[in-house]
């Protein structure tokens, strides 16, 4: 009796099971690479990778989803440190070759927090004397902050508080953040596939 091509078994698996196994293995590699990119770029602010698994036709477990938590809480009392931290967080969120919707949302929230910190920094600059403003610029140059950041801070400080708030509200609207989508109280958000 001749067997149909689709009924042939390779290693105890039929063609459909082999196809599923190939897809699961590819997904597993993709998920692990995605989460490793988040973790590597997030450095000290990234948590451990966690995965959700699916059992393959060969009985092995394959990662089909995953996440890395990342600390998005601002640095209390230090807007400049918050700006630097949010740059790392944003970079971590966008590190994979194909960022997910959740990745993009975390990056947008990091940008929102960064803008708030820049606004705080600009407010501090307005209330300080010219000599302390010069020392702040010296600090920025020493820490490697680009001139574009200084320009952005000056343009924010030149705007009225109302226009800064309108810009923040517009950004939140475009980024998909509203009052109901605030971060959890612990300051960590998952970056996931």
Of 158, 86, 167, 171, the C-alpha closest to 122 is 158
Cα of first residue to Cα of last residue in the chain, in angstroms, is 47
Q: Write the pLDDT tens digit of every residue in 58-99.
A: 999 999 999 999 999 999 999 999 999 999 999 999 999 999
Lowest mean pLDDT among 18-27, 138-147, 180-189: 138-147
Residue 124 is predicted with a pLDDT of 84
pLDDT mean across residues, the chain:
76
Q: Do the strands 46-55 and 13-14 form a parallel or antiparallel pair, or are they unpaired?
A: unpaired
Cα separation of 149 and 143, whole Å?
A: 12
Among residues 105, 93, 143, the alpha carbon closest in space to that of 121 is found at 143
- Cβ partners under 8 Å of residue 189, min gap 6: 69, 70, 72, 106, 109, 183
Give me 132's structure tokens. 């302390």
Q: Is the pLDDT confidence value at 108 over 70?
A: yes
Say what percent of the chain tops pLDDT 70. Answer: 62
pLDDT confidence band for 193 (50 / 70 / 90): low
pLDDT for the residue 127: 73
Task: Give Cβ neighbours of residue 143 (< 8 Å, ≥ 6 apart).
Answer: 80, 84
In 46-187, DSSP assigns E strands to 46-55, 61-71
Q: Evaluate if pTM is beyond 0.85.
A: no
């Amino acid at each position: 009796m001749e067997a149909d091509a689709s009924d042939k078994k390779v290693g105890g698996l039929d063609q459909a099971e082999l196809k599923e196994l190939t897809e699961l293995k590819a997904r597993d590699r993709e998920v692990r690479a995605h989460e490793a990119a988040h973790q590597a770029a997030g450095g000290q602010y990234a948590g451990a990778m966690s995965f959700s698994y699916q059992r393959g036709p060969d009985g092995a477990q394959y990662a089909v989803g995953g996440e890395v938590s990342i600390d998005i809480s601002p640095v209390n009392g230090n807007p400049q440190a918050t700006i630097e931290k949010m740059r790392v967080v944003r970079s971590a969120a966008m590190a994979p070759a194909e960022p997910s919707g959740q990745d993009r949302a975390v990056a947008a929230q990091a940008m929102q927090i960064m803008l708030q910190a820049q606004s705080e920094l600009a407010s501090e600059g307005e209330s300080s004397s010219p000599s302390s403003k010069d020392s702040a610029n010296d600090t920025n140059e020493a820490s490697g902050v680009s001139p574009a950041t200084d320009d952005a801070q000056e343009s924010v400080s030149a705007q009225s508080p109302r226009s800064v708030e309108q810009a923040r509200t517009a950004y939140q609207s475009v980024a998909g953040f509203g009052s109901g989508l605030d971060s959890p109280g612990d300051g960590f958000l998952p970056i996931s596939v």
